[in-house]
Amino acid sequence: MQQATTLHALDAIGLSEAVSEVLAAAAGSPRSLAPGERLVEQGEVSTGVCLLLSGIVKACRNLRDGGVQTLALYTSGDVVDSLAYVARRATATIAAVTPSRVAEIPAARLELLMETHPSIARALWRSTAREAAILQEWVVGMGRRSAHSQIAHLMCEIVLRLRLGGPNARVHRFPLTQAELADIAGLSAVHVNRIVQGLRADGLIELGRGWLRIQDWDRLIEVADFDPWYLGIGVQAVDRAG
């Protein structure tokens, strides 16, 4: 069953079942994380690559003045912070948002695997690329979108990317607090609250503790200026020859 979870997870990053099995075999025994528990501390030397088997995990940067900026969200099947592997040091702290399970593949073992299975190296590259694409979208949101639009955009992205249910679902699980949304958006929690109320008043969403109902997906997308295309980057193997 453990095995099955791992395989399902790796599916998402575009590896064949056979290769996924190889990778799963290389992973150490899974570790469980409670909400808020930290997996990696920023600045730490990276010892390998982490696969997220279940749950939701975030990467955030802690500033000198006490401020926090979230830099990434991960869901089951994601490679957690592939950037840290390339950089050989973590640029951010990794912490669990919901109860989660992760499995680590030590660097040395991964190096060998990538030599024999180039598709694994490609999959990790795609992971990094997807992260970069999402960061680009966040930069656009923070720089050039109104806070309303930015929060709406984040809601669209999070619901789709964390696979909390398709646009057709009536109510989505939504494990982020308003304060956590603020850490992502670079806004204050108070302001996020007011924006959420605005979106509610406009009949676009309803947001409760742990859930989100998108009442008018079309108008939300309109407000957010949301194009889901970028979420597809790297989720499946690309065969250029074909």
Binding site for DNA (CB under 7 A): 146-148, 177-179, 186-191, 193-194, 196-197, 207, 209
Judged by CB under 8 A, does residue 125 bind a copy of itself? yes
Residue 147 contact, options DNA, a copy of itself, none, Cβ 5-8 Å cut-off depending on partner type: DNA
Report the residue from 132, 217, 219, 237 that binds a copy of itself according to the rule CB under 8 A: 132
Range 159-218, binding a copy of itself (CB under 8 A): 185-186
Binding status of residue 116 toward a copy of itself by CB under 8 A:
no
CA-to-CA distance for 185 and 139, rounded, in angstroms? 9
Long-range contacts of 141-144 (CB under 8 A, 24+ apart): 141/185, 142/185, 142/186
237 binds a copy of itself (CB under 8 A): no
**DSSP secondary structure string for all residues of 102-134:** EEEEEHHHHHHHHHH-HHHHHHHHHHHHHHHHH
- State which of positions 20-59 bind a copy of itself (CB under 8 A): none
Please state the closest distance from residue 187 (CB atom) to a copy of itself, in A: 8
Q: Which is nearer to DNA, 80 or 176 (CB)?
A: 176
Angle at 30 between CA 26 and CA 35, to 5 degrees: 145
Among DNA, a copy of itself, none, the one that 22 touches (CB under a kind-dependent 5 to 8 A) is none
Residue 148 or 173: which CB sits closer to DNA? 148
How far apart are the C-alpha atoms of 69 and 28, rounded to whole Å? 30
- Choice between 53 and 147, CB closer to a copy of itself: 147
Parallel, antiparallel or unpaired: strands 56-62 and 171-173 = unpaired
Nearer to a copy of itself, 89 or 163 (CB): 89
Q: Per rule CB under 8 A, is residue 126 in the interface with a copy of itself? A: yes
The upper half-sphere exposure of residue 189, i.e. CA atoms within 13 Å in the direction of its Cβ, equals 7
> What residue ranges bind a copy of itself (CB under 8 A)?
61, 63-64, 67-69, 71, 82-83, 86-89, 91-92, 107-108, 111, 114-115, 118, 121-122, 124-126, 128-129, 131-133, 135-136, 138-140, 142-145, 185-186, 225, 229-230, 233-234, 238, 240-241
